Amino acid sequence: MRNRFCQTLLMLLITATSAMAQQFGGNPPSIKWRQVNTPATKVIFPEGMDSAALQVANIIQYINPKIKPSIGFRQKQISIVLQNQTTISNAYVGLAPFRSEFYLMPSQNSFEIGSLYWPGQLAIHEFRHVQQYNNFNVGLSHVLRVFFGEGGQALGNDLSVPNWFFEGDAVYNETLVSPQGRGRLPYFFNGFRALWAAGKNYSWMKLRNGSYVDFVPDHYPLGYMMVAYGREKYGSDFWEKVTHDAAAFKTGFYPFQNAIKKYSGKTYKVFRDSAFKQFSKQFGNDQVIDDNLRRHFVAHEEYPAYINDSTLIYLKTAYNHIPEFVIRSKGKDKAIAVQDITTDNYFTYHDSKVVYASYRPDARWGYRNYNELVVLDINTHKERRITRKTKYFSPAFSNDGKSIVAVDVEPSGKNALHLLDAESGKLLTAIPNPDNLFYTYPEFYADDQIVSAVRNGKGQMALASVDIKTSVVKYFTPFGFEPIGFIAVGNGRVIFSKTTGAYDKLFVLSLKTGQVFLKDTSEGNRSAVIGSYQPAVINSKLAWVGFTPYGYNIMEGTLSENDFNETPLSKAEPLSNIGISILSLDSAANLSSSVPNTQLSITKYSKAHGLFNFHSVFPNINDPNYSLELAGENVLNTFQSRLSFNYNRDEGYKRIGYTGVYGALFPYISAGANYTFDRRGFSKGNKVYFNETDLHAGLEVPLDFTGGKTSTFLNFGSDVYYSQRRFQEAFRSQFADRHYTYLNNYISFSNQIQQAKQQINPRLAQSFSLNYKTAIAGLSATQFLGTGSLYFPGLSVNHSLVISGAYQQKGKDNSIGFSNDFPFSKGYTAESLDKMQKYGVSYHFPIAYPDAGFGNLAYLLRVRGYLFYDHTHATDGSFLLNGKLFNANFRSVGAALFFDGKIFNQAAISFGVRYSYLLDDDQFGGNGKNRIELVLPVSIF
């Protein structure tokens, strides 16, 4: 029991420190790095990104002292790395090591994240996480840090402070200190508004842990509502007191819940119910969504486009199916093609052609990726990739379909509209952008005119036209912080989505008069959705999407001259402080609008700086081995190292070792050494002691060929190992020292199509690996191992058939006992034999989706199972069985039951129980035919 508890603690420790996706060795060595140093931050950036780095540093330097009181005054400098090679909009702050990365590509969707200058918004949001970690190093969390380093604090913080607070507090901060922020954006609340309108009162644990069958909003809006309510009702220092006591574990087994009760006087349940009530009443005018069928989540229907008056094409994404283009005609749907892997579902349609941006990573450098344009012919179902290694967003056809306009964003941050040939993808025109606008969702409205939603340097938005020939920009609406986007053109009008007060609605621009009016979409039950987005128009017909608990739904209506008798743009409401009244009264309100442009020093940043950077100690107890690892990783994530100590209880030996991997070159370069002393053996009934020295070095090439509809990875390399065994002084006269050198060569390949949320395995996938070890000096030995698995669809959409095989052969009279990784038949005691071959079949299927938990400790999302048959045949010439050379079968059949869920409302966990029935005798241990095992699964690749 003690060992199982310690292993669980280790799993939580590793989970706490690896939650953020990082790209080891992800940047090419040609990048030159610079830095801006302030007391709170070290901003590290690629050469040429000076402006963004200075603005990030200035924002943090200015707002830091003014927002400290609401979280605490502890401060430790953090390194922030600006990544400009990616097409992904994201960022994180993490411990182990303590650092942050900003992915500098802005999002096209201003409703979702906002329209503020992207590096500045990241500085506001992410630095709040820095302040959180700095001030949560208290009490028991601090004790864990003393013993286990930064990883120990990460574990303590994850166990005591929920992830909803981390993100909710950061969203509150971005809303407080800026003129926008997600707390003012209606889109941010759509999920909860849809649930409230449908009367879906999910349990707290379901809201925290999600579901495989129902739509559940993530922890960002949940956290914002909780944090904002606490700030408004109990003061700006409320959360500083709550989180301090929680991170210190001052208030018992439920530290955060008890701390809220201590400082609010309300139980945790009453507190969160009050927070929800305060926000839900803000949206009391939302029309109730018809829920007579009590349906689960159905599918997202996104970006409708008219083929003709009675036919639409749209993108459909379900929990049990990957995204696919669907044609809807007369109420019937027909799927025509699966979408490529993308970072954005946006597409446009013209004359039987669909164009969208397909995601493709660089083969070697993980931080470098691309958006390449793909054209799909809906009649032939054939696709063509018309651009290569480009960073294009929101492509749209011209009126004649011969050209495409797309937003091009360079690694430098410069933004422009590119006009491309629709057949070849050749660049025809790069339209100058002297005002340094950021373009989103451009559309042609004339042969030489483009309409686009644009952002200025302050983050304000307007609807503008761009003349292709002269580059002259004309504004149809005034600039404001209300998001604009999702543009459709037709019948002399431009229809677009725009925020007005607490709602996202459709507006109509008359190209003839230049007037802009709010479009009434409340005909019939059409307002029984939340928000109005992604319009499409043909003649007098209008389609758009709105949000429901069952996914984005397509709505349809009409356009007429009466539209221009409706509410004019001048009557639209500005952004509001949704559900909160004190945002504008706080002393830190809108701080980002007055950040001074201080000239800070820029210096070179050495790639060798802090190369080892040991940050955490990871314990591992796997009886009879007890070990500690001191882990290190530099800020640029190009060098990882482990210094370890291991004690083996059976033999009593001690081992110290070090391994380092350098990932900044095309091949990874690794090297390490282990020294083991007091190893024990037996000779003629007497104990013999000896020491071992092991040295190793190697090269590895990781390649990512993901693109189109599949994720494809190839990894190969070779390591050389040198081992020397030296007998201790008392035994040197009886035994000669020995040494040997061998090569470990390997190659692995995996390929899979996209995987829907409910699918246990991808419906089509292949995974293969080959490993060959051979001695090259000192002794003679070889070992070859090949394994592979093929994944196929099952009888139902979420079922999976897996066929696997393996083959291992060792050389005759091997003098080296190589490690044995052969996947032996389930249920048997495995041994390393001369020749082994195996094939297996398993069938995987879901059983139930309980969506149930207890005590805010454990939650069960899914129960799944599989049936299997394994057949291993083995031979060995080194020993006899019944007077004959060993030759035996090891066959088993059985079933497994797995449980997928979360613990502590945020950490994913899977475990299973497997029953195996042995069809042959277990030659190497155990009695009986029936075996039951606890299984902790790992990912398939």
Map 353-407 to HEC letters: EEEEEEEEECCCCCCCEEEEEEEEECCCCCEEECCCCCEEEEEEECCCCCEEEEE
CA 644 from centroid of its chain's CA atoms: 30
Cβ pair 373, 406 in contact under 8 A: yes
In angstroms, the CA 612 to CA 619 distance is: 19
- Counted residue by residue, the chain has a size of 941
Topology of domain 614-662, CATH: N-terminal domain of TfIIb (2.20.25)
CA 238 from centroid of its chain's CA atoms: 31
Cα angle 199-226-255, degrees, rounded to a multiple of 5: 120
Number of Cβ within a 10 Å radius of residue 589: 16
Tokens of 824: 């032996």
Tokens of 481: 């912080």
Residue 894: closest CA among 933, 941, 846:
933
**CB-based contacts of 255, cutoff 8 Å, min separation 6:** 160, 245, 246, 247, 248, 249
In angstroms, the CA 464 to CA 431 distance is: 14
Range name among 10-14, 120-124, 450-454, 866-870 with the lowest pLDDT average: 10-14
How does pLDDT run across 815-865, given as a tens digit for each residue? 778 888 999 999 999 888 899 999 999 999 999 999 999 999 999 999 999
In angstroms, the CA 487 to CA 496 distance is: 4
pLDDT at 7 over 50: no
Computed from CA positions of residues 354, 357, 359, 360, in that sequence, does the dihedral angle turn out positive or negative?
A: positive
pLDDT at 487 over 80: yes
Tokens of 307: 């083929």
Residues of the chain with CATH 2.20.25: 614-662
In angstroms, the CA 830 to CA 820 distance is: 9
Crossing angle between the packed helical segments 238-247 and 163-177, to the nearest 10 degrees: 150
**CB-based contacts of 686, cutoff 8 Å, min separation 6:** none
Residue 358: closest CA among 857, 706, 106:
706
What does the radius of gyration of the chain's CA atoms come to, in whole angstroms?
31
pLDDT at 78 over 80: yes
User: Residue 293: its pLDDT value, please?
Assistant: 57
User: Residue 510: its pLDDT value, please?
Assistant: 92
In angstroms, the CA 618 to CA 155 distance is: 11
In this prediction, residues 921-929 reach a mean pLDDT of 87
Three-state secondary structure call for residue 76: coil
Residues of the chain with CATH 2.120.10.30: 340-481
Q: Write the Ramachandran bin of 655: left for phi over 0, alpha for psi from -120 to 50, otherwise beta.
A: beta
In angstroms, the CA 119 to CA 772 distance is: 48
Q: Considering the domain 28-286+580-600, what is its CATH architecture?
A: Orthogonal Bundle (1.10)
Average model confidence (pLDDT) across the chain: 92
In this prediction, residues 171-179 reach a mean pLDDT of 95
Tokens of 725: 């065994």
Give strand ranges (E) for 728-833: 738-753, 765-777, 782-793, 800-810
**CB-based contacts of 528, cutoff 8 Å, min separation 6:** 197, 287, 288, 289, 290, 548
User: Residue 782: its pLDDT value, please?
Assistant: 95
- Omega cis (within 30) before 97: yes
Range name among 18-22, 121-125, 339-343, 710-714 with the lowest pLDDT average: 18-22
Cβ pair 132, 162 in contact under 8 A: no
Amino acid found at 769: S
Tokens of 687: 């104990």
pLDDT at 33 over 90: yes
Residue 213: closest CA among 549, 441, 501, 487:
549
**CB-based contacts of 30, cutoff 8 Å, min separation 6:** none
User: Residue 793: its pLDDT value, please?
Assistant: 97
Tokens of 921: 């005798």
User: Residue 741: its pLDDT value, please?
Assistant: 96
User: Residue 18: its pLDDT value, please?
Assistant: 52
How does pLDDT run across 308-355, given as a tens digit for each residue? 999 999 999 999 999 999 999 988 999 999 999 999 999 999 999 999
Computed from CA positions of residues 831, 832, 836, 838, in that sequence, does the dihedral angle turn out positive or negative?
A: positive
How does pLDDT run across 694-728, given as a tens digit for each residue? 999 999 999 999 999 999 999 999 999 999 988 87
User: Residue 585: its pLDDT value, please?
Assistant: 74
**CB-based contacts of 150, cutoff 8 Å, min separation 6:** 17, 95, 96, 97, 98, 615, 616
pLDDT at 166 over 90: yes
Q: List residues bridging with 743 in a β-sheet.
A: 720, 774
In angstroms, the CA 281 to CA 774 distance is: 71
Topology of domain 340-481, CATH: Neuraminidase (2.120.10)
Residues of the chain with CATH 1.10.390: 28-286+580-600
Number of Cβ within a 10 Å radius of residue 2: 8
**CB-based contacts of 733, cutoff 8 Å, min separation 6:** none
In angstroms, the CA 85 to CA 367 distance is: 6
The more confident residue out of 733 and 343 is 343
pTM of the model as a whole: 0.94
Number of Cβ within a 10 Å radius of residue 777: 10
How does pLDDT run across 634-674, given as a tens digit for each residue? 999 999 999 999 998 888 899 999 999 999 999 999 999 99
- Which DSSP letter does residue 564 get? G
Cβ pair 500, 572 in contact under 8 A: yes
How does pLDDT run across 272-303, given as a tens digit for each residue? 999 999 999 988 888 777 665 568 999 999 99
Cβ pair 430, 408 in contact under 8 A: yes
Cβ pair 353, 376 in contact under 8 A: yes
Cβ pair 229, 774 in contact under 8 A: no
User: Residue 15: its pLDDT value, please?
Assistant: 53
In angstroms, the CA 745 to CA 700 distance is: 10
Amino acid found at 37: N
Residue corresponding to tokens 């009279």:
813
User: Residue 564: its pLDDT value, please?
Assistant: 64
Scored b (16 or more CB within 10 A) or e, 108-129 reads bbbbebbbbbbbbbbbbbbbbb
Residue 371: closest CA among 89, 738, 690, 674:
89
In this prediction, residues 120-126 reach a mean pLDDT of 97
Computed from CA positions of residues 792, 795, 797, 798, in that sequence, does the dihedral angle turn out positive or negative?
A: negative
How does pLDDT run across 467-478, given as a tens digit for each residue? 999 999 999 999
In this prediction, residues 70-76 reach a mean pLDDT of 96
How does pLDDT run across 186-210, given as a tens digit for each residue? 999 999 999 999 999 999 999 999 9
Residue corresponding to tokens 């539209």:
563
Cβ pair 559, 541 in contact under 8 A: yes
How does pLDDT run across 500-526, given as a tens digit for each residue? 999 999 999 999 889 999 988 876 444
The more confident residue out of 410 and 565 is 410
In angstroms, the CA 445 to CA 452 distance is: 10
pLDDT at 19 over 50: no
